[in-house]
Structure 1
Amino acid sequence: MSAQLIFDLVPLGAIVRFFDGTPRPPERHRKKLAAWEYRNRGGRLIRKQPERRVGNTVISASITLHTGDYGGDGVVVLRVHRTFPVDRDLTFVVTERPKLGAVRVLDRAGEDAELVYLANSRVDAETWLESHGYPDAVLDEVTADATAAGVVDWRTAA
């Protein structure tokens, strides 16, 4: 599936893998393996940015994946996000969709919102929000429409 289909069909909160189609190098080739792993990973879909205009420049639509957190003892020091334009030549696969009834905590309202937490329930989302302080946060429950959004022609898009 292309990045454009991810943008069009997949709901925020889904786990998405991406790959470039090249075979994995042997473990002994550490630098080649690190470069391959950079182009063949996965993460949670946290943002979909529509095409926008800045002056005379058109910035194409894009998707952003949260690929990891680094830190220790329960403290996150670094969050890693990867943004891909929708015309990127990688292949994407949805491995998991947000569960029905889960609640997405978005940092703001609107189509440019970013997922900051995916809760199992509204109570869990409200509890998390109290301790993390996003003043403009919006709670968005995952509905049957969102989980079925990836079904195209009676087949799943994943």
Structure 2
Amino acid sequence: MSAHTIYDCAVLGSVIRYSDGTAKPPVRFRKKLSTWESRNGSGRLIKKEPPRSRATYTSPACFTLHEGDLGGGGVIVVSVRRTWSVESDLRFQIVERPAIGMVRVLQDVGDSPELLHLARDREAAERWLASNTYSRAYLDEVTADEVGADVIEGRAAA
């Protein structure tokens, strides 16, 4: 799939894989492997931003994937996120969609919501929100209608 298709079809909380189609180089080639890893990976879709037009600049629509957190002892030091434009030349694939009954903890930031946490149910989402206070956070449950629309419109995970 193209980046534009991911922007249009994937829902927040989906796991997305991206690739440039090249083979992974051997570990002994550290620089080549590092470059390959920057263009091949996966993450959870946490934000989709519409295109913006300013007086001196126009940016295309984009989406952000959360690839993981670095830290220890329950303390997150760095959150690894990558933002891709819909004009990206990489190939994308929806690996997993949120299941019915899961609850997204979202926060309004700018023009679109950002996924803060994906919980297995409402109780778990409320517990997470109680221990992680955000001023504009709200809960959004994944419904059967949302999952059904994906199947009807042919957006099932590949």
Give the TM interval when normalised to the shorter protein: over 0.9
Equivalent position SS for 1:130: helix
Q: Partner of 1:47 in structure 2?
A: 47
Partner of 1:120: 120
Q: Is the aligned partner of 1:85 residue 2:85?
A: yes
Instruction: Give the secondary-structure state (helix, strand or coil) at the position aligned to 1:69.
Output: strand
Report how many aligned residue pairs link the two structures. 158
Query: With structure 2 as the length reference, what TM-score do the two structures score?
Result: 0.92
Name the CA shift for 1:3/1:151 in 2 (closer, same or farther; >3 Å). farther
Structure 1 runs of 4+ aligned residues shifted over 6 Å read none
Following superposition, the deviation at residue 91 of structure 1 comes to 0.3
Unaligned 5+ segments in structure 1 are none
Three-state SS of the structure 2 residue aligned to 1:88 is coil
1:28-39 mapped onto 2 (5 Å cutoff): 28-39=28-39
Percentage of identical aligned residues: 51
TM-score of the superposed pair, with normalisation by structure 1:
0.92
- Over 3 Å counting, the alpha-carbon distance change for 1:110 and 1:145 in structure 2 is farther
The answer for the alignment partner of 2:143 in structure 1 is 143
> 1:104 matched to which residue of 2?
104
Per-residue deviation, residues 28-66 of structure 1 (Å, max 9, x unmatched): 111111110111000000000011112232111001000
Q: Deviations over 1:51-82 (max 9, x none)?
A: 11122321110010001100011111000110
Q: Which runs of 5 or more residues in structure 2 are unaligned?
A: none
